[in-house]
Amino acid sequence: MSKPSARAVASSTNGMKRRNRVMVLFTLPVVLLFSTFFTVPVILGVYYSMTNWTGIAKDYKFIGLRNYGNVLTDKRFWNAIFFNFKYTICLVIGVLVLSLLIALAINQLGKSSTVFRTIYFIPAVLSLVTVGLIWNELFLRAFPPIGKALNIGFLSTSLLGNPATAMFGILIVNLWQGCATPTVLFIAGLQSVPKDLYEAATIDGANAWQKFKNITVPFLLPIVTMLVITTTKGGLTIFDYIQSMTAGGPAQATEAIGILIYRHAMSEGKFAQSVAESMCLFVIVAIVSFATIKLSSKKQVGDD
């Protein structure tokens, strides 16, 4: 085989350089947007978290890590973190279980499943604040009369008005809307499982549970891992539902870390401390996401 000529090599090199320049131009807007709306705000946030700025005053001083010390010794901050973790655990379990059950039911419907997939996906396109306001009215005006008529004690009053049940009221709304996308993803995962595997398992005498555990679950593991990470992040950073339904009440029973950060920044003149709390939340979400990825089974179908 003859070697390529110097002209051919030069032409190929120039072509690669042109393609690389075109690729850089296409990626430049993404880099600029990411830097403008993420990297720069994070850097500024780290700086402001080390000052005593109130968010309004023109003058402020650099005080080092004092705000972080105040955050880590603030009982209110730890109560908010505890609420977020408790809420997140309930949310992750609820989303995975309900979405999978709904997906399994819809997947058995055959051709008519398209209609039900559309119906179940409708909540996903609604605004979180709008959903929160609508359900707030339902909890306040619709459910109590039904509870009284049926003599159901916990429904006789608004769930959001009781510190013991307010979190569960918010959780119901979040599950109602939050199961839409996971359900569609689970349906897609179920439909990707080869039918031959089920037929072979049936011939071997496997029951329904064995087929689900040994065939269905491995195909759904990548989806489960992704949903655990995204749902955990959503639970740890929840804000819209609480702000529109309880505003952190009653008696701070639903004061999540997002609500606490908002109050410190906008109502209590503790802007720098709120930024420090945001940085702490950022670290917590990063650690939890990393741990979730490590602990989740990454063995997929076809891996050795």
Residue 166's pLDDT is what?
93
Q: How far is CA 237 from its chain centroid?
A: 8
Higher-confidence residue: 255 or 114? Answer: 255
| Minimum mean pLDDT range among 1-10, 158-167, 174-183, 230-239 | 1-10
Q: Report the DSSP beta bridge partners of residue 51.
A: 62
Q: Which of 60-74, 101-115, 281-295 has the highest mean pLDDT?
A: 60-74
**pLDDT-based confidence at 167, cuts 50/70/90?**
very high
When pLDDT is averaged across residues 112-128 and rounded to a whole number, the result is 79
Return the number of other C-beta atoms located less than 10 Å from residue 192's C-beta.
11
| DSSP string computed for 134-160 | HHHHIIIIIHHHHHHHTT-GGGSS-GG
**Share of residues in the chain with pLDDT > 90 (%):** 37
Whether the pLDDT of residue 97 is over 90: the answer is yes
Residue 302's pLDDT is what?
47
Whether the pLDDT of residue 95 is over 70: the answer is yes
Cβ-Cβ contacts under 8 Å for 61 (sequence gap 6 or more): 51, 52
Tokens linked to 83: 């609420």
**pLDDT-based confidence at 303, cuts 50/70/90?**
low
> Is there a contact between 160 and 245 (Cβ–Cβ < 8 Å)?
yes
When pLDDT is averaged across residues 274-282 and rounded to a whole number, the result is 92
Q: Which helix (H) or strand (E) holds 245?
A: helix 240-245
Exposed/middle/buried for 145, CB within 10 Å: 0-12, 13-18, 19+?
exposed
Whether the pLDDT of residue 67 is over 90: the answer is yes
Q: What are the Cα distances from residue 220, in Å, to 15, 49, 110, 223, 226?
A: 43, 41, 19, 5, 10
**pLDDT-based confidence at 11, cuts 50/70/90?**
low
Higher-confidence residue: 277 or 55? Answer: 277
Q: Which CATH class is domain 76-295?
A: mainly alpha
| Minimum mean pLDDT range among 182-186, 248-252, 288-292 | 288-292
Whether the pLDDT of residue 173 is over 90: the answer is yes
> Is there a contact between 245 and 173 (Cβ–Cβ < 8 Å)?
yes
**pLDDT-based confidence at 101, cuts 50/70/90?**
very high
Looking at residue 69, its amino acid is G
